Amino acid sequence: MNKNDCSIDLHCHTNASDGALSPEQIVERAVRFGITHLAISDHDTTSGILRAQNRALLDDFKGQIEIIPSIEISTTFTGHQIHIVGLFINPLSQAMTDLVAAQFEKRKERASRIALKLEKLGFDNIAEEIAKDHSPDDVITRGNFARYIFEKGAASSFDEAFNKYLKRGKPAYVNSQWIGVDDAVKIIHMAGGIAVLAHPGRYQITNAKLRELICFFKDAGGEAMEICSCQQKPAERDFLANLAVQYGMLGSAGSDFHLEGAYRELGYNIALPMKVTPIWEDPRFAKFFNNLDRAVTGRK
Ligand code: AMP
Ligand code: MN
Ligand code: MN
Ligand code: MN
């Protein structure tokens, strides 16, 4: 599979939030890259899932790819913004529709405040400009603002847009109070899903705080943590694998793909280390995955 070493990718984004591709386009890309199982996990919205599933059901792709209904929920843990992925959630459950509606309002208000700050910095009509590429129920994250700033040439990269304007301490930063990690786990379970702590290595918190987070998440009923995302040092991956073993967490793997041409790619460099038990090997959850025999997991 080239560098796309795992055909099960349990985290990616469409333009229902801050991904660049439509749900249909991401399924087409995934099939091209040999992905057999793809979770559509947009920030705080489930609106891309049905379109992705419908694309996967068309004749040319039938039987080739399983779309896993998913969401990436924004939460706050002791002042830090933490992402919790729900896999195999029922988007139509009351718990999920209530959550999505509440997060949408929070996101809308936050996006307006970010836009106001950016307008003062010279980005005229930025909210309206970004809205042109979106339907009204799409979720606008800092990722959407970063891409716009980059495309306007006001930053040399997506990351630089964060470093110059959007991250904590920078002029367009807006502090956000999301729901608790435990609330997110509860909602995911009420919606029939599995709770996964997303990219635990990316929070810029101390190791002690990370251990505290993992314990809190596990006590709340969280089942798994992402061990592999594609842009990651081998030492970080090994560290996370050891934490998963120590705390009895299942392992998940997801590219967190957002856009073409960036360093993250569907199924790229996300094979789980042997010491970790993947979600799909757990007796409770293996049955959630259709056609698992078709998957290539590249584990080493
Ligand atoms: P939000 O949930 O609105 O705060 O935005 C989340 C999106 O911004 C996610 O896709 C993150 O990957 C991205 N993001 C957050 N912080 C950074 C950063 N420092 N550099 C690049 N991307 C970031
Ligand atoms: Mn994002
Ligand atoms: Mn995230
Ligand atoms: Mn993500």
pLDDT at 1 > cutoff 50:
no
Q: Tell me what the pLDDT averaged over the chain comes to.
A: 96
pLDDT digit string (tens) for 11-68? 999 999 999 999 999 999 999 999 999 999 999 999 999 999 999 999 999 999 999 9
pTM above 0.75, yes or no: yes
Ligand in closest contact with the CA of 81: 1
- Residue 254 to residue 225: CA distance in whole angstroms: 10
187, 256, 257: which is closest to 222 by C-alpha? 187
pLDDT, tens digit, 9 for 90 and up, residues 76-96: 999 999 999 999 999 999 999
How large is the C-alpha radius of gyration of the chain? Answer: 18
Q: What is the pLDDT of residue 300?
A: 80
pLDDT tier at 2 (50, 70, 90 boundaries)? Answer: low
CA distances from 109 to 8, 40, 147 (A): 35, 24, 20
The residue whose CA is least distant from atom 2 of ligand 1 is 141
Indicate which ligand has the atom closest to the C-alpha of 255: 4
Ligand 1 atom closest to the CA of 83, numbered from 1? 2
Residue 74 CB less than 6 A away from ligand 1 = yes
Q: Which two tokens stand for residue 235?
A: 């030492």
Which of 162, 203, 231, 232 to mutate for ligand 1's pocket (most ligand atoms within 8 Å of CB)?
162
Q: Relative to the CA of 258, which ligand 1 atom is closest?
A: 10
Distance 198 CA to ligand 3 centre (A): 6
Stretch 179-191: mean pLDDT? 98
